[in-house]
Chains A and B, each alone.
Chain A
């Protein structure tokens, strides 16, 4: 069943429809979330007043940072075991986008942290550190791929590194509860259900969905470009023979 998704022709057909849909739905969700977040929901004085509204970008970015690395690891694993080229194309597309959202998470976190905690950055906060090193994992993955002299080698080396690095993703969640820190503990996904007021939760979840859809659409566009580039390279090689 899964191997049906490994066919580039089917993927091109599917993504020609799906990518625009993802962009449209993602834009609607993000705009609604921003409108709710910036104008509708009441500010939370405990979380720094109006600055807490950055949460509607910060939290989706944080989730997406972790999810995109998981996606990178899964795609690498699938490529490494079954050698479906589409999985490698997906991994290659996910890396730079994941790095962008990880950087967005760090930037918005610093902007939120300065007025609330009085500091842009706190070195003994394991969660900030983990996200920073997640960014390094993405950058290392991209640097390693770029330094390999053939596409096949880049895919293999990248897959090994992504799978090794995947141990960092569970560590992010683990470290939150292990270290006493400035950062508030998880308040949406807990064993007792969300601890957050519903008025914040709905825009947050919709905004996260929107960021996820935008991410998915961008990944598909990247993949379509990559498939066409490979096709061009193949045709050029044939023409030169």
Chain B
């Protein structure tokens, strides 16, 4: 048993994310669209915008993970890639984690990297805090992608499973969303909330790959 199938899965997922009409740019377009439409929708008042800005970015992160994850495992079930992976004897959890990580790198991390710019569009004060927020978005986004991956793996055999992924993943996003928002507003002490956010992300990274692996073995049957 070697790590080769896992690396191959990572490369495949990363290439997949960029192939076919720049799929990885879709979340950025999504977020950019939101950044323009929100001020039009709720008014251009500076205080209001800077208050809702972080929340809008969290929501966009969660939604973009759902948008990009819909097809992540479905194509592998359809074209037989999944069966080949199972035959290599490589740990399925490792492959699932590699694919999810690649998708986060392609679609989640760029969102986090763009967040300071977007925060400025939402009238936030330019400060180093925006870079701290960038880290929080990256961390929370990772949890979103892993839990969303569970939904994607479970509905891999379901046609038009997008809605199913949303309803499965939504409750799993809750801890991350709550801790993320608390970390931004400085609730429960300055250190507590970021620590809890990190803990919930690590938990997702530890648990989700095994759930994905079990779901993918089911999908291959």
Contact = CB atoms under 8 A, between A and B. Distances in A.
A101 to B, nearest CB: 17
A183 B215 CA distance: 37
Contacts of A144: 154-155, 164, 168
Given A126-B178, A136-B170, A153-B221, A178 B164 contact: no
A139 B187 CA distance: 31
Contact of B215 (A126, A157, A171, A175): A157
A139 B174 contact: no
Given A144-B154, A161-B154, A164-B207, A129 B172 contact: no
A159 B218 CA distance: 11
Contacts of A143: 164, 167-168
A157 B174 contact: no
Contacts of A157: 154, 215, 218
B120 interface: no
Contacts of B161: 147
A136 B167 CA distance: 7
Nearest to B203: A167
A165 B172 contact: yes
A130 interface: yes
B8 interface: no
B167 A140 contact: yes
A178 B157 CA distance: 39
B157 to A, nearest CB: 8
A163 B215 CA distance: 12
A133 interface: yes
A134 B208 CA distance: 19
Interface in A118-156: 126, 129-130, 133-134, 136-137, 139-140, 143-144, 147-149, 153, 156
Contacts of A175: 178
Given A130-B174, A168-B174, A147 B188 contact: no
Contacts of A149: 157
Contact of A160 (B154, B164, B170, B171): B154
B174 A171 contact: yes
Contact of B150 (A130, A136, A137, A164): A164
A126 B218 CA distance: 34
Contact of A161 (B168, B170, B221): B168
A103 B123 CA distance: 39
A65 to B, nearest CB: 13
A147 B207 contact: no
Interface in B27-78: none
Contacts of A134: 171
B171 A137 contact: yes
Contacts of B157: 148-149, 153
A156 B214 CA distance: 9
B12 to A, nearest CB: 24
Given A171-B174, A175-B178, A140 B218 contact: no
Given A144-B168, A164-B150, A156 B218 contact: yes
Interface of A: 126, 129-130, 133-134, 136-137, 139-140, 143-144, 147-149, 153, 156-157, 160-161, 163-165, 167-168, 171, 175, 178-179
* Top-8 shortest CB links A-B: A133-B171, A140-B167, A140-B168, A136-B171, A147-B158, A137-B171, A156-B218, A164-B211
20 contacts: A126-B178, A129-B174, A134-B171, A136-B167, A140-B171, A143-B164, A143-B168, A144-B164, A153-B157, A156-B218, A160-B154, A160-B211, A161-B150, A161-B168, A167-B203, A168-B172, A171-B175, A175-B178, A178-B188, A179-B187
Given A143-B164, A167-B207, 10 more contacts: A133-B171, A136-B171, A140-B167, A144-B168, A148-B157, A149-B157, A160-B218, A164-B150, A165-B172, A167-B172
